[in-house]
Amino acid sequence: MIDRSPGQTSPARLTGWGRIAPTVAELARPCRPDQVPALLRGAPPRGAIARGLGRSYNNAAQNDGGLVIQTTRMNGIIALDPRAGLVTCEAGVSLEQLMIAALPDGWFVPVSPGTRQVTVGGAIAADVHGKNHHKAGSFAQHVPWLELLLPGGEVRQVSSVSDPELFWATAGGMGLTGVILRAQVRLTKVETSRVSVDTVRTANLDDAMAYLEATDDTFGYTVAWMDCLATGASLGRSVITSGEFATLDQLAPADRREPLAFRPIARIGAPAAFPPGLLNRHTVALANEVWYRKAPRRRVGEIQTIGTFFHPLDGIRNWNRVYGPAGFLQYQYAVPAGQDATVRRSVEMISAARAPSFITVLKRFGPGSPGYLSFPIEGWTLALDFPARTPGLAGLLSRLDELVAEAGGRVYLAKDSRLSPEMLAAMYPRLEEFRQVRKQLDPAGLLASDLSRRLRL
Ligand SMILES: Cc1cc2nc3c(=O)[nH]c(=O)nc-3n(C[C@H](O)[C@H](O)[C@H](O)COP(=O)(O)OP(=O)(O)OC[C@H]3O[C@@H](n4cnc5c(N)ncnc54)[C@H](O)[C@@H]3O)c2cc1C
């Protein structure tokens, strides 16, 4: 991309990670937080929205015909206190950058999604969760304060103590309360940069859920990969990987010399083009079979790198292209604890529809945060990736919406591409409070995204 002065913008065709709904916006790429207020003041009538690394799956960080302020050049780490494990940084700093900076002193990010290519601003705005949600909660719960540029132009330091309403509207608020300029993040102490991982293969969904429930207290990090196309007695068969950061004495002698080493691997690129339809119910069923069979029935204490355990997909740059030009969509729901029958019903529906999700992940959430639109609630979450052109997908997902809403659950906005405003209201009981905060902060509706327009956020 050509270098421009920070105030300049140029038209850009933007999508989310799923590459399904491109729109054109004026794109600005400021280098410093103090350049953002002027950009916001000069926003066109369609308003403005912040964008980080564009890893939300659909159009939360797009603004058709408006302004998009990409923060990735505002990527300075301002201070890192190695004793307290507190880092202060600009909002465009990525989680990978934080890992590179903090691991040598024995600190890791408090919460990591399945990719480390997300910004601190994006992690707060979606209040992201990781494999440790059942123990550590979501990202914003580890943010002592953030600095927010409000739609009116004021820059305010906001904490959950000084300004709880604004803080919790911003955490999970999908960029609609202001532009986060800087933030402080409380890191997690680790003795090494490796993870001791137990792997268990379960014969079906019931066994997977029972194992996850029984081991809640045992592991800091857990997730189940599920074969969503398995049927009958094998319905929901899974491979569960659970881990803890390894202690020094768990490492092989050669690794003990550099116990905190972290070298994000040189990432290989996916080919520029894949044939349409490469991923379909036949190829995904085959891949699932191979993946499931290759997993050990039970393996204990395997030492893995951060990349292998937390971010396996980051090893392949632009892996999203494997879905072909039509792209793909993610569907992730959460339902309250005790809704095991709903999870089972949803897996039956997906399996019966032969809807080929390449990556299907089941996890237990701990208690949710006070974020008005934060996604996690205590209970179960299931995430699925479907090729956008899967036959019958729209109907299946609408039926899943109804099932989830009836169970008191919700769909994750950072991944959503198709929810209706009515369904959103049924799923997020604090939506009206969020809208009230927005109305007070931004009566003219300066902040807007393709997502916010569709959902009337
Ligand atoms: C492979 C993969 C795995 C993932 N795994 C998980 C997971 O395990 N858990 C999970 O929770 N999520 C997961 N995600 C989703 C991802 O973590 C979130 O969508 C995250 O918000 C992306 O951050 P980003 O910097 O790319 O933000 P973008 O996608 O660019 O933006 C996301 C939202 O944040 C807002 N935003 C960004 N920067 C700012 C700012 N400075 N100020 C105000 N608002 C801002 C945008 O307006 C938008 O609404 C995954 C995504 C991928 C691609």
Supply the pLDDT for residue 2: 43
Tell me the best of 35, 36, 49, 51 to mutate to test the pocket of ligand 1, counting ligand atoms within 8 Å of each CB and taking the most.
51
For the CA of 117, the closest atom of ligand 1 is: 26
* Start-to-end CA span in the chain (Å): 32
C-beta of 115 in contact with ligand 1 (< 6 A): yes
Q: Which atom of ligand 1 is nearest to the CA of 53?
A: 26
Q: Answer yes or no: are the C-beta atoms of 101 and 35 closer than 8 Å.
A: no
SS in 3 state form for the chain? Answer: CCCCCCCCEEEEEECCCCCCCCEEEEEECCCCHHHHHHHHHCCCCCCEEEECCCCCCCCCCCCCCCEEEECCCCCCEEEEECCCCEEEEECCCEHHHHHHHHHHHCEECCCCCCCCCCEHHHHHHCCCCCCCHHHHCCHHHHCCEEEEECCCCCEEEECCCCCHHHHHHHCCCCCCCCEEEEEEEECEECCCCEEEEEEEEECCHHHHHHHHHHCCCCCCEEEEEECCCCCHHHCCCEEEEEEEECCHHHCCHHHHCCCCCCCCCCCEECCCCCCCCCCCHHHHHHHHHHHHHHCCCEEEEEEEEHHHHHCHHHHEECHHHHHCCCCEEEEEEEEECCCHHHHHHHHHHHHHCCCCCCCCEEEEECCCCCCCCCCCCCEEEEEEEEECCCCCHHHHHHHHHHHHHHCCCEECCCCCCCCCHHHHHHHCCCHHHHHHHHHHHCCCCCECCHHHHHHCC
pLDDT at residue 325 in the model:
84
* pLDDT value for 350: 97
pLDDT number for residue 1: 43
Copy the structure tokens of residue 336: 């309250």
Is the shortest distance between the CB of 53 and ligand 1 below 6 Å?
A: yes
Q: Which tokens sit at 256?
A: 């003990």
Find out whether the beta carbon of 179 lies less than 6 Å from any atom of ligand 1. Answer: yes
Query: Residue 148 CA: which ligand 1 atom is closest?
Result: 42
CB of 205 shorter than 6 A to ligand 1: no
What is the CA(413)–ligand 1 centre distance, in A? 10
Does the C-beta of 54 come closer than 6 Å to ligand 1? Answer: yes
Work out whether strand 86-90 and strand 179-186 pair parallel, antiparallel, or are unpaired: antiparallel
- Residue 180 beta carbon below 6 angstroms from any ligand 1 atom: yes
Q: How far is the CA of 299 from the centre of ligand 1 (A)?
A: 33
Residue owning tokens 């123990």: 135
Among 20, 27, 35, 55, which residue has the most ligand 1 atoms within 8 Å of its CB, making it the best to mutate? 55
The protein residue with its alpha carbon nearest to ligand 1, atom 4, reads 114
Q: Which atom of ligand 1 has the smallest separation from the CA of 139? A: 11
Tens of pLDDT, residue by residue, the chain (457 residues): 444 565 689 999 999 999 999 999 999 999 999 999 999 999 999 999 999 999 999 999 999 999 999 999 999 999 999 999 999 999 999 999 999 999 999 999 999 999 999 999 999 999 999 999 999 999 999 999 999 999 999 999 999 999 999 999 999 999 999 999 999 999 999 999 999 999 999 999 999 999 999 999 999 999 999 999 999 999 999 999 999 999 999 999 999 999 999 988 756 777 666 777 777 888 888 888 888 888 899 999 999 999 999 998 888 778 888 888 888 899 999 999 999 999 999 999 999 999 999 899 999 999 999 999 999 999 999 999 999 989 999 999 999 999 999 999 999 999 999 999 999 999 999 999 999 999 999 999 999 999 999 999 9
What is the pLDDT, as a whole number, of residue 284?
Answer: 84
Interval between CA 91 and ligand 1 midpoint (Å): 12
